[in-house]
Structure 1
């Protein structure tokens, strides 16, 4: 057994996935809502016997390695390292040959070296003296927080880091360009970040994905912040600043406070509020909402108190709503952002965090202040602004609650608001690209798959197989793959008394293993009593047999008509007997 197989054998997939998701027992399997797409009904199934998972909504699936790769956005070699450590297996050096070292891993290493360089420049080198003074005196960030967040400084000299990485650390020019640390200019490599406070951007596993660089002197002549360009490990819309530091506190409290800037996060940490992360972008994306939903049930937005901050709240809301996250807003009053509030009145800020308000209450109040409700035009603007957002609320009780509040605010009937909301939502729906419908499968194929699922997932597989076999008799499965799975149950029970999915899979040709896995994992209904399950099993088997007999009768009739024209008496007599037998079987079924 190779090392990869040893790791796979040692890892229990149910235990692994339950570290990330809340699982519920479903017969022989476990189920939960899929973390890779939005769904209300759980279709993500995990099999402890087969040590596999599959989502029947988005069709993703695999083993312990593919789950970790998809969930954590890792390459195989990274997932192998993590799972080997979990399993207590020490991997040999041969597993990590130079050709196997992933591009992602190389970029992570490069970013770590670059971060150490930036941090050294800020804290130990004369070049960083002014930047350090700015952080300590102007921003009131103490040395402890500078160390905690690994803050650094990029030299004004445009090739300091590039030269260090190429000449001292022996990275290739292409490597540092691929990492987004440098770029090519006239045959030379030049530092991407120059004369900026440097904030490393960590993922939740403490890998440095990239950097955010902020200028010291904010005169509006150049961009205040510059982020690493997209690389194989950094994508702006999937990242939060500070998540590596905040994730444990977010899990503990069930709440994530989302702010705009790095200094906002650091200031919150300075007064003991540690469930805080910062957006990288102008609004929360679906990827970010998915990521944060793994740690929190509630998101509290504390964005800048300007038009851009307000628009960011509006644009972020649909993504948060899709993930079923409760969303609230912190009101900062006269302060422009969290950092400003904490510097001037930390007691006020702590109270504001405790007194957060529901996002829809905040929006209704904000639109009311902006447009007023004394004129028909003002009321229309409020309705046009808020109704699409209320229409996106998943919970119908919550939706009705806010429609009633809006009805009172605008002094209009609940029914009128419902009509307007439906009109707006219809318009928005018509703008979306129509999704082509999946090719409909034949009902017989669906029933065959369902029958196999019922048998394979039953408490007593042998009994269920024998019960259905009495009904199916000479039934000929429409799909050969279904026939092979069904027939091999007989072969399996000739050797074994108890059913085990892992052992049974060895009886099946490799090419139909995916079809077996689908049947073995398909989410069947929950049957409270064994009798109800038995009735369902027999009902499906009977329908398949009846359909089979009806089709045979139809084919025999057509054949009989053809032979009647040929006047072949012997064949006609034989077909008539067959037809009579089939009709008799049908009447008894």
Structure 2
């Protein structure tokens, strides 16, 4: 047995997946809300018997412990292998890490770690970082403990120091630095007259390292402190194999345990907001690194808590970012609040002014919808018809997106009362908005290819056969009805043929023994239908009747197709068409429809 199989054998998939999402026992399997797409009804199934999982909802993903980790953490196979090997204590050959994208990611993590150490050394130990250190200590009031905790650094302004260190001392290639987003090819005073060379991407900036939730250094954010500077006040590592701005938070590596402990995450805008919060003991804080939360960020933070307090900057841009973030968070079913500190522009300034008041504001966070409601009413005159219209236009699109019907009705009633408008009028406006949303969804759904009725029935029939202890009896009865039926799903027809052969030497169905004779390429189709969620049946007879009914409907569809094809040949004057054959098929169809009506 190779290392991959050994690791798979040692990890119980139910226990492993339970660490990421809550599972509920349902019969012989476990079910959950799928973590890979938005849904309200659980369609994610885990089989302890087969050590596999499958989603029967919108995404149709499935696999084993490796594929779950790869999907959940967005990893390459080799990365998942490394994590699971460490978990089980199994030693892997070094060659396992060197191939393809995974090998490059490992290299970028190492280069970034070397850059982190360099930047931090320059800030704390080298004269080139003296001015930056003074800025952080004197202006930003950061002490040595905070600088060490967040491993803050400084990038020298000369523009080649990091590149020279990584190439000459650490022996990395120029191309590796560029791939990591730390350097680029260009011309500058340090590259020689008229010659192009490798230049540092970050120059003359305070450096905030960006870690993923597994503590890998994925990139950097640099704040300019020296005048003049090119680019924005803050610049980030460009997108690389390991860094995507919309998929991470600053500070999650230091905050994740506190977030889990308190079951709440406070989300701010910038790095210094996080660090200031940390300095006063508020440690369940992360920074969004952008203007609003993305779906990827919400999926990431939801692994640690379902409770979010938005603490964005108190300007118009911050308010708009909060509203956009709200829609993404609501989609995921999160509980959302906000903290109010009107006298300061952001969390960092509020803490500098009055840390005690800031802590109180955090403890007295209010539901985000209350805050938006109040802010909207203060912006317009509710007693004038134009104000009523503007308030409703601002709030109704937000309130209609609330997933919880009780919460939604609460705010719609409140809006009706405060505007002195009937609830009926509010309901009509809501209906208009919801109709527009339905049309949008219908357009989306129309673009998605839906399974034909025949395919849906084939899925169901194979699941009915595979999941019953009396599989031979069900298979025999169904095949007697299906006769020469041609499956649309070729893999299902092959599985049926293997089952027929299997039952020549055995009357009982043992999935483990059957899988030993089933070709590897058919295992996924088998696993999917073996986990397929079936309804509950009163007794065995009802189960068998349901199987026969499905087989009869498939036979009906098959016969109708055959009649249609031969009839078309007759219409076009095809001499090969057999008139008698049509008559025979129509008689068989009538007989099958009769059987279906009795089932």
Instruction: Output the TM-score relative to the length of structure 1.
Output: 0.89
CA contact under 8 A between 1:180 and 1:228: conserved in structure 2?
A: yes
TM-fit CA distance, 1:31: 2.1
Matched, 1:391 2:392: no
TM-fit CA distance, 1:556: 9.1
Spell out the pairing of 1:129-140 with structure 2 (5 A cutoff): 129-140=130-141
CA contact under 8 A between 1:213 and 1:227: conserved in structure 2?
A: yes
TM-fit CA distance, 1:10: 2.4
Corresponding position of 1:196: 205
TM-fit CA distance, 1:302: 0.7
Structure 1 counterpart of 2:486, from 457, 463, 478 = 478
Question: 1:508, 1:48 → 2: CA distance?
Answer: 20
Matched, 1:510 2:520: yes
1:130-171 deviation line (CA, Å, top 9, x unaligned): 211222222121111111111111111111101111111111
Corresponding position of 1:123: 124
Question: 2:474, 2:464 → 1: CA distance?
Answer: 12
Which of 483-492 and 250-259 deviates more? 483-492
CA contact under 8 A between 1:183 and 1:189: conserved in structure 2?
A: yes
TM-fit CA distance, 1:587: 6.0
Counterpart secondary structure, 2:443: coil
TM-fit CA distance, 1:14: 2.1
Structure 2 counterpart of 1:489, from 496, 499, 516 = 499
Structure showing greater relative contact order (alpha-carbon pairs closer than 8 Å, 6 or more residues apart): 1
Question: 1:245, 1:376 → 2: CA distance?
Answer: 50
Query: Cα–Cα, structure 1 residues 240 and 438, in superposed 2: closer, same or farther, change >3 Å?
Result: closer
Instruction: Output the TM-score relative to the length of structure 2.
Output: 0.88
Question: 1:253, 1:520 → 2: CA distance?
Answer: 40
Matched, 1:520 2:530: yes
Query: Cα–Cα, structure 1 residues 328 and 218, in superposed 2: closer, same or farther, change >3 Å?
Result: farther
Query: Cα–Cα, structure 1 residues 497 and 90, in superposed 2: closer, same or farther, change >3 Å?
Result: farther
TM-fit CA distance, 1:425: 4.3
Counterpart secondary structure, 1:53: strand
Query: Cα–Cα, structure 1 residues 556 and 75, in superposed 2: closer, same or farther, change >3 Å?
Result: closer
Structure 2 counterpart of 1:542, from 534, 538, 549 = 549
Aligned residues: 575
Query: Cα–Cα, structure 1 residues 539 and 497, in superposed 2: closer, same or farther, change >3 Å?
Result: closer
Corresponding position of 2:337: 328
Question: 1:439, 1:130 → 2: CA distance?
Answer: 61
Spell out the pairing of 1:375-390 with structure 2 (5 A cutoff): 375-390=384-399
Question: 1:231, 1:545 → 2: CA distance?
Answer: 55
CA contact under 8 A between 2:481 and 2:548: conserved in structure 1?
A: no
Corresponding position of 1:163: 164
Question: 2:517, 2:491 → 1: CA distance?
Answer: 13
TM-fit CA distance, 1:388: 0.8
TM-fit CA distance, 1:581: 9.0
Corresponding position of 2:302: 293
Structure 2 counterpart of 1:277, from 274, 278, 286 = 286
Matched, 1:450 2:457: no
Counterpart secondary structure, 2:184: strand
Corresponding position of 2:48: 48
Query: Cα–Cα, structure 1 residues 21 and 493, in superposed 2: closer, same or farther, change >3 Å?
Result: farther
Corresponding position of 1:568: none
Corresponding position of 1:142: 143
1:220-250 deviation line (CA, Å, top 9, x unaligned): 9962211111111111111100111111121
Counterpart secondary structure, 2:208: strand
Q: Unmatched 5+ residue regions in structure 2? A: 188-195, 571-577
Matched, 1:21 2:21: yes
CA contact under 8 A between 2:108 and 2:176: conserved in structure 1?
A: yes
Spell out the pairing of 1:223-302 with structure 2 (5 A cutoff): 223-302=232-311
Corresponding position of 1:567: none
Structure 2 counterpart of 1:421, from 399, 413, 430 = 430
Corresponding position of 1:65: 66
Query: Cα–Cα, structure 1 residues 92 and 404, in superposed 2: closer, same or farther, change >3 Å?
Result: same
Counterpart secondary structure, 1:210: strand
Counterpart secondary structure, 1:184: strand
Query: Cα–Cα, structure 1 residues 120 and 451, in superposed 2: closer, same or farther, change >3 Å?
Result: same
Corresponding position of 2:191: none
Which of 128-137 and 348-357 deviates more? 128-137
TM-fit CA distance, 1:418: 2.0
Counterpart secondary structure, 1:241: coil
Q: Unmatched 5+ residue regions in structure 1? A: 564-570
Which of 326-335 and 413-422 deviates more? 413-422
CA contact under 8 A between 1:77 and 1:100: conserved in structure 2?
A: no
CA contact under 8 A between 1:218 and 1:224: conserved in structure 2?
A: no
TM-fit CA distance, 1:540: 3.3
CA contact under 8 A between 1:484 and 1:508: conserved in structure 2?
A: no
Spell out the pairing of 1:396-407 with structure 2 (5 A cutoff): 396-407=405-416
Query: Cα–Cα, structure 1 residues 385 and 497, in superposed 2: closer, same or farther, change >3 Å?
Result: same
Query: Cα–Cα, structure 1 residues 227 and 252, in superposed 2: closer, same or farther, change >3 Å?
Result: same
CA contact under 8 A between 1:49 and 1:501: conserved in structure 2?
A: no
